[in-house]
Amino acid sequence: MPRADGLDVLVSEVGPRDGLQSVASLMPLEHKMAWIDAEALAGVREIEVGSFVPAHILPSMADTGDLVRHAKAIPGLTVAALVPNLKGAQAAVEAGAHKITLPVSVSETHSLRNVRRTHAQMIEEAQAIAALLATLPPGRRPSFEGGLSTAFGCTLEGLVADATLTRLAEALMQAGCDEVGLSDTSGYASPSEVKRLVRLVRGVVGEEALSGLHLHNTRGLGLANALAGLEVGITTLDASLGGLGGCPFAPGASGNIVTEDLVFMLQAMGLKTGIDLERLVEVRRRLPGWLPGEASYGFLADAGPPLGFSGEAAVAAR
């Protein structure tokens, strides 16, 4: 389905949330703001700025409300936030987030470990959030995504059953989500599995209800999996600048797929992202200054674009 915003692919930056919640260092609020401002200026249209979790659980996310309020002032930017429960959703609504994502682990073991809730309890949470959103005037109502985490497998359970995935996807849509997304939380996906599971879930919820993938590069298959997603019509891809986040289980592996490498691949394929790659790489170079001591990953920032590559300008001219 073509996107309403005129882009071929929406690259959604999740570094301020997924990246920062996975590293030991705390990034000061002013640096987070500078990062978000700079990426938006480079043309990134959606940024997940944080997670509405209690500060004692994730101190790095304590300023998410401030960040949402700040980022909302940036014209044309969709401000997204993760919400683990109804309380988080209430805080996100109060701050004025444009999009909220409730992560629901397909692995029930992971769900219990992560948010101490069963699948049934998470569906109830989704229903409660949908009921809250229904009380808001349309202009203040954020879009509501059910994020199916560990959709491709889980470090605690191994493979997860197809039937569990489709049952949860269907239940989330029935609960009132606007869409569902598939997350490869543990870096278990392969290109063939991406295609198979996207088709499988769409067979249950419909094509328009699944447009996004959240991929990790834990085992080096991140961009291959992104390409597989594009081939089955995925139009939103999450990524993290400099692959920030890493993975404690796989030293040397980046966390999410690397934003600048993804944008390079998309533009090299002639796809419109709305992003100025050169400016994006400049933002990436500032990242170590905002978060000293944390590793950055990826290839494009070191190698630079190929001679004669001029990003989307060249695409537009062809």
Residues marked active site are found at 247
Q: Which residue is nearest to Zn ion (CB)?
A: 18
Judged by phi (left if over 0) then psi (alpha if -120 to 50, else beta), residue 220 lies in: left
Site for Zn ion in 5-34 (CB under 5 A): 18
Angle (CA) 159-164-166 rounded to 5° is 115
Of 18 and 125, the one with the shorter C-beta distance to Zn ion is 18
CB of 194 to Zn ion, least distance (A): 15
Which residue, chain included where needed, has tokens 């014209």?
A: 75
CB of 18 to Zn ion, least distance (A): 4
Determine the number of helices (DSSP H) and then strands (DSSP E) in the chain.
13, 8
Instruction: Give dist(CA 174, CA 130) in Å, integer.
Output: 10
Of 18 and 46, the one with the shorter C-beta distance to Zn ion is 18
* 238: CB partners within 8 A, 6+ apart: 12, 13, 14, 18, 48, 212, 213, 214, 215, 256, 257
Of 254 and 267, the one with the shorter C-beta distance to Zn ion is 254
Angle (CA) 221-303-316 rounded to 5° is 85
Cα 124 to Cα 121, 128, 238: the distances in Å are: 5, 6, 26
CB of 238 to Zn ion, least distance (A): 7
Of 101 and 267, the one with the shorter C-beta distance to Zn ion is 101
Of 82 and 280, the one with the shorter C-beta distance to Zn ion is 82
CB of 94 to Zn ion, least distance (A): 25
Q: What is the dihedral of CA 253, 256, 260, 264, to 10 degrees?
A: 90
Q: Note whether 82 and 122 are within 8 A (CB).
A: no
Cα 126 to Cα 32, 86, 174, 182, 231: the distances in Å are: 29, 8, 9, 16, 30
Q: What's the chain's Rg over C-alpha atoms?
A: 18
Of 93 and 172, the one with the shorter C-beta distance to Zn ion is 172
Instruction: Give dist(CA 232, CA 249) in Å, integer.
Output: 30
Residues near Zn ion, by CB under 5 A: 18
